Amino acid sequence: MLYIPFDDLVRTLEAALDKAGVDAPRAARLADVFARNSLEGVYSHGVNRFPRFLFCIREGIVRLDTTPERVASLGGMEVWDGGFGPGPLIAEDAMARAIELARTHGIACVSVRNSSHWMRAGRYGRQAAQAGMAAILFTNTTANMPAWGAEDPRLGNNPIVLAVPRSKGPVVVDTAMSQFAYGKLEVAVQNGQMLPFDGGYDEEGRLTRDPKAILKTRRILPAGYWKGSAMSLALDLLAGALSMGRTVCAVTRAPEDEAGLSQVFIAINFRGLLPAEQVDGLLDEAVEFLLSSKPVPGGAPIRYPGQDVERTAARNMERGVPVAEETWEKIQAHMTRP
């Protein structure tokens, strides 16, 4: 494992994006996305995904010659076409637009069709929370998860984010509808680790904690078994309906690598209804009640979702951002391509 100073990492990623043909403003934003995701401890959707993102640019899966455009609006609802552009930038801009609309309408929903992988979904939930907004956002994916009781993948693991702003630190739930996202499995393989719980099936159809076996079969386990399966379908139908875009079956039929995704960004300006002190008091009481839980013997301290982001970022800022040597070699190889 390499430990690279954050500023050096950002500069390297910017240079790689420049070589890939990305203009300077977008290269700066995208470099921050990948570097900061890893800085904050989400290695599976940070620098680890960067070589794949460069591949998608080279192959035209992520397009650089398009600009998102609004195609429909109704009050606090808007639909945008992402034009198959860079997913992280489309997501940031869509969340910003939802926040803007929610300041006027109280609640707003911006849906996007024809986007690409947005990388770490929690980034956009934190974006809303930092603006004082609660948020609900979700995306569909290509078919990569079997329905409960099935063998072949017909569902996406369709991540969802729930974010709640709080002066003492936002609560941000960022979860796929599979027990473990594929990125988490890849990181576990890189680190030579087994999963802490069953995450999918091996070739004999047995539940396993071996990430290599699950990546081989592509039979990941829905979170909550039948519940995750049902939630995945509902999120996919909502994403398709609200964006007038592709559902999982249509995304899967397309030849591109997870292109043409449908995504939804909902911002809720609940702090406009009550005094800030009253809202914070309500939220703090609930969070402190959770944190006062008695841990099981030998267990880790009880934490709320998103609690460790700042601490992880501070640690990685001091020691350097962890980057797998194999990933760094791929980035360097891109820099030397003719």
Residue 328 identity:
W
Q: What distance in Å separates the CA atoms of residue 76 and residue 301, rounded to the nearest whole number?
A: 41
Residue 29: burial class (beta carbons within 10 Å; 0-12, 13-18, 19+): middle
Q: Which has the closest alpha carbon to 137: 169, 104, 163? A: 163
Nearest residue to 62 via CA among 109, 98, 30: 30
Q: How far apart are CA 79 and CA 146, in angstroms?
A: 29
Strand partners, 282: none
| Residue 265: Cβ within 10 Å count | 33
CA distance 201 to 278: 48
Instruction: For the beta carbon of residue 123, count every other beta carbon within 10 angstroms.
Output: 23
Of 45, 105, 117, 334, which one is the catalytic site residue?
A: 45
If we measure between CA atoms, which residue out of 322, 336, 323, 257 comes closest to residue 53? 257
Nearest to 244, CA basis, from 114, 101, 88: 114
What is the secondary structure of 288-335 as a DSSP string?
A: HHHHT--PPTTPPPP--TTTTHHHHHHHHHHH-EEE-HHHHHHHHHHH
Measured between alpha carbons, how far is 117 from 87 in angstroms, rounded to an integer?
5
Phi, psi of 11 (to 5 degrees): -65, -40
Tokens coding 332: 């360097």
- Whether the Cβ atoms of residue 334 and residue 20 lie closer than 8 Å to each other: yes
Known catalytic residue at 117: no
3-class SS of residue 275: coil
CA 11 to chain centre: 23
Catalytic residue positions, numbered:
45
